[in-house]
Amino acid sequence: MFAYTASQAISPAVSRTRTYLFRPFRFSTYLKLAVVATITEGFGSSGSYNQHHAQGHAFAGAAMFSAGAFSWNSAAGIAAIVALALAFIALSIYIFYLVTRLRFAFFHCLVHQTREILPAWRRYAVESMRMFKLYLVMGVLFLMSVLALSGVAIAGVWQIRSHMDSSGSGFRMPVTVAAIVALVLAILLLFLIALAVEIVIHDFMLPHMALENASVAEAWRAARQRIAAEKGSFLLYALLRVLLPIAAGIALILAAILPLILSVAVVVLIAHGFNGFFAGASGGLAAAGLALRIFLAVMGFAGIMIAYFCLVGPIATWSREYALLYYGGRYQPLGDLLFPPPPPLPLEESPQIA
């Protein structure tokens, strides 16, 4: 397979995305693939899902405590808080495992140009668990780094404040600004490191684990050798891999502003009309009005989510296709699957001598 440069792989990835999602086009299949692509590429969907669950647990806990079932200082209240926290952590870890396994399934579907998710899901149970454990280790290390950085920042602020109190000097703008700038730069550096680790694991190590059943160490060695051989090319790829989806998302937001405003205006007018119609209603009519409002709210939320997945799905699919095409030119088993070599020509029979 031809080894694309980081810029050369952009257009073929667009072409493969168009073919995979729209040829042939069936809306239910397209929506399924768009949801999978959005979740696996991390375009805010999984984070929003966890955040919504966290808000739901917090709301349930607040309602329970406000109802007087528990007291904040009681043993039962503390036990309930701990139980909710542990349940939320366990649920988040399980969801992240599902996302990791779904990444392998989507990788298989794109490589083999199949739209069947379930067979691919069943195929990579061992490999996805192996990568999930790697993600857990990386997550713990990242959390420890954040806590250490926070501790250093708090200690620095405390030391500055103690120095001010002991010397009797007031607020020092240069010192405070320097401390804030140092903290922001440290957080940015930590974020960039985490982003680089994510790209290496998802884009370069996953193909080795999926196609060769490689261990984490074997996949890392194989990816590291290729990165070391073309440092500049891989760096440019990482920049485009991050910046191009962001640019596409901004363009998508700008294009969707007017339709969004019109949709909100229509919803507001409809809601105002229903409120006026059911104003002062009682009994069965009031209950019907409440049920209708709930139904419309649910349908509206579902419509927003469907529109979100339909719009973001192609960008997320392109991101994975781009990663496959770029790394496939440097990893022959992947490249041979993306573009199978032509079958060998049949040998011509030699003429027989009478």
Domain boundaries, the chain: 10-338
Model pLDDT for residues 164-180, shown as the tens digit of each residue: 656 555 555 666 677 77
Percent of the chain surpassing pLDDT 90: 51
Residue 310: CB atoms within 10 Å: 15
Per-residue pLDDT, 122: 94
Q: 179: closest CA among 148, 150, 153? A: 153
Residue 227 identity (one-letter amino acid): I
Mean of pLDDT over the chain: 83
Stretch 286-304: mean pLDDT, rounded? 81
Q: What is the gyration radius of the CA atoms in the chain, in angstroms?
A: 27
Q: Comparing 217 with 260, which gets the higher pLDDT? A: 217
Length of the chain: 354
Residue 328, H or E segment: helix 284-328
Model pLDDT for residues 101-111, shown as the tens digit of each residue: 999 999 999 99
Stretch 146-165: mean pLDDT, rounded? 74
Model pLDDT for residues 337-347, shown as the tens digit of each residue: 998 877 776 66
Percent of the chain surpassing pLDDT 70: 81
pLDDT-based confidence at 299, cuts 50/70/90?
confident
Q: Check: CB of residue 179 under 8 Å from CB of residue 160.
A: yes
Residue 57: partners with Cβ closer than 8 Å, 6 or more residues away: 84, 87, 88
Q: 207: closest CA among 312, 112, 96? A: 112
Distance of CA 35 to the CA centre of its chain: 11
Q: Is the model's pLDDT at 312 over the cut of 50?
A: yes
Per-residue pLDDT, 135: 93
Per-residue pLDDT, 47: 40
Q: Is the model's pLDDT at 335 over the cut of 70?
A: yes
Q: Comparing 162 with 155, which gets the higher pLDDT? A: 155
Rounded distance between C-alpha atoms, residue 313 and residue 317, angstroms: 6
Q: 131: closest CA among 165, 107, 157, 164? A: 107
Stretch 258-279: mean pLDDT, rounded? 76
**Alpha-carbon dihedral angle through residues 38, 43, 47, 51, given to the nearest 10 degrees:** -90
Rounded distance between C-alpha atoms, residue 206 and residue 111, angstroms: 13
Q: Is the model's pLDDT at 302 over the cut of 70?
A: yes
Model pLDDT for residues 108-132, shown as the tens digit of each residue: 999 999 999 999 999 999 999 999 9
Rounded distance between C-alpha atoms, residue 210 and residue 109, angstroms: 12
Q: Is the model's pLDDT at 308 over the cut of 50?
A: yes
Residue 43: partners with Cβ closer than 8 Å, 6 or more residues away: 245, 249, 312, 315, 316
pLDDT-based confidence at 284, cuts 50/70/90?
confident
- Render 7-56 in DSSP notation, one character per residue: TTTHHHHHHHHHHHHHSS--HHHHHHHHHHHHHHHTSSHHHHHHHHHHHH
Q: Comparing 233 with 339, which gets the higher pLDDT? A: 233
Q: Comparing 286 with 229, which gets the higher pLDDT? A: 229
Q: 35: closest CA among 306, 328, 325, 343? A: 306
Residue 313, H or E segment: helix 284-328
Through-space distance between the first and last CA atoms of the chain, rounded to whole angstroms: 45
Model pLDDT for residues 30-64, shown as the tens digit of each residue: 999 999 999 999 764 334 334 344 344 444 444 44
**CA separation, residue 154 to residues 165, 170, 183, 190, 269 (Å):** 16, 19, 10, 17, 50
Rounded distance between C-alpha atoms, residue 102 and residue 125, angstroms: 10
Q: Is the model's pLDDT at 82 over the cut of 60?
A: yes
Q: Is the model's pLDDT at 22 over the cut of 90?
A: yes
Backbone torsions φ then ψ of 350, nearest 5 degrees: -75, 140
Stretch 225-242: mean pLDDT, rounded? 96
The token pair at 351 is: 């003429």
The token pair at 343 is: 């079958």
Residue 88: CB atoms within 10 Å: 16
Per-residue pLDDT, 10: 96
Per-residue pLDDT, 174: 67
**What is the model's pTM?**
0.79
Q: Check: CB of residue 244 under 8 Å from CB of residue 316.
A: no
